[in-house]
């Protein structure tokens, strides 16, 4: 495993707020350890977040989400290829949109937002025993200069396809899980929204699972017990906002 300070000519650029790449991590636990070290070292710059599985697909759908929601509307670059200016323009527009009451998605509106079969719930449960599947050849660490976790989503909005939860749905989920349960947003992958229990803090696992049932519209799957066990064991809450890790 290698930690690379960005920018670096050998690592494809992701966003103006990127700070490090974690390359060839051998396991998810070691990925978290590397991320925690980086986050502690750059705490003065803001809050750190991590990209998870299938980074190319995540960036592809994020680009479409930016375009579809008009976060890049009226951008005029001072230079033809001013990527940093473009990123910041989209970031601030997404921030404004996420705080606009006209775009707010109420929690009740998320009921059956992403319908899940029993097989999908089994996949949600299985990932806790296979966390290394969330590892990618390259993970990007970003430092967002605020303490608002939805600003990470403003940096890399996601939820584009018609069957996905939209960026505005994901804002509501992030606010719900961080404010109601005290979870910390870890990051996002092509399908995953990942949260962590803070050290030395309890967690209402039953409440979290009830909220997951609300989102996925499946209250009867026998696999929810395994999801609860996985959350309790790992301190992670892993939700799919798109396909269930296909």
pLDDT by residue for the chain (246 residues), tens only, comes to 999 999 999 999 999 999 999 999 999 999 999 999 999 999 999 999 999 999 999 999 999 999 999 999 989 766 667 999 999 999 999 999 999 999 999 999 999 999 999 999 999 999 999 999 999 999 999 999 999 999 999 999 999 988 899 999 999 999 999 999 999 999 999 999 999 999 888 999 999 999 999 999 999 999 999 999 999 999 999 999 998 766
Task: Order the strands of the 138-144 sheet from edge to edge.
Answer: 2-5, 18-23, 138-144, 47-51, 184-188, 192-196, 236-240
Residue 231 CA to residue 147 CA, distance in Å, equals 24
The pLDDT value given to residue 72: 93
- Put simply, whether the predicted model's pTM sits higher than 0.75 gets the answer yes
The pLDDT value given to residue 246: 63
Helix (H) or strand (E) holding 187: strand 184-188
Q: Who contacts 62 (Cβ-Cβ below 8 Å, separation ≥6)?
A: 156, 157, 158, 160
Q: Who contacts 151 (Cβ-Cβ below 8 Å, separation ≥6)?
A: 47, 91, 95, 144
Where do the structural domains in the chain lie, given as residue ranges? 2-100+110-240
3-state secondary structure of 62: helix
Q: Who contacts 80 (Cβ-Cβ below 8 Å, separation ≥6)?
A: none
């Amino acid at each position: 495993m290698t930690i690379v300070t960005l920018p670096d000519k050998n690592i494809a650029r992701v966003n103006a707020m990127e700070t490090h790449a974690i390359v060839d991590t051998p396991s998810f636990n070691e990925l978290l350890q590397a991320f925690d070290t980086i986050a502690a070292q750059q705490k003065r710059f803001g809050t750190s977040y991590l990209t998870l599985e299938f980074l190319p697909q995540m960036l592809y759908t994020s680009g479409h989400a930016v375009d579809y929601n008009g976060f890049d509307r009226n951008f005029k670059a001072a230079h033809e290829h001013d990527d940093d200016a473009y990123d910041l323009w989209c970031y601030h527009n997404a921030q404004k949109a996420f705080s606009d009451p006209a775009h707010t998605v109420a929690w009740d509106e998320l009921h059956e937002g992403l319908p899940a079969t029993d097989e999908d719930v089994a996949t949600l449960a299985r990932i806790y025993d296979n966390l290394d599947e969330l590892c990618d050849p390259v993970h990007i660490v970003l430092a967002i200069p605020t303490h608002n976790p939805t600003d990470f989503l403003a940096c890399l909005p996601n939820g584009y396809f018609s069957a996905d939860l939209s960026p505005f749905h994901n804002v509501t989920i992030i606010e719900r899980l961080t404010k109601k349960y005290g979870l910390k947003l870890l990051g996002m992958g092509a399908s995953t929204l990942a949260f962590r229990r803070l050290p030395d803090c309890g967690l209402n696992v039953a409440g979290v699972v009830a909220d997951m049932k609300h989102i996925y519209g499946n209250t009867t799957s026998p696999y929810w017990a395994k999801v609860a066990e996985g959350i309790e064991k790992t301190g992670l809450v892993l939700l799919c906002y798109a396909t269930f890790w296909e």
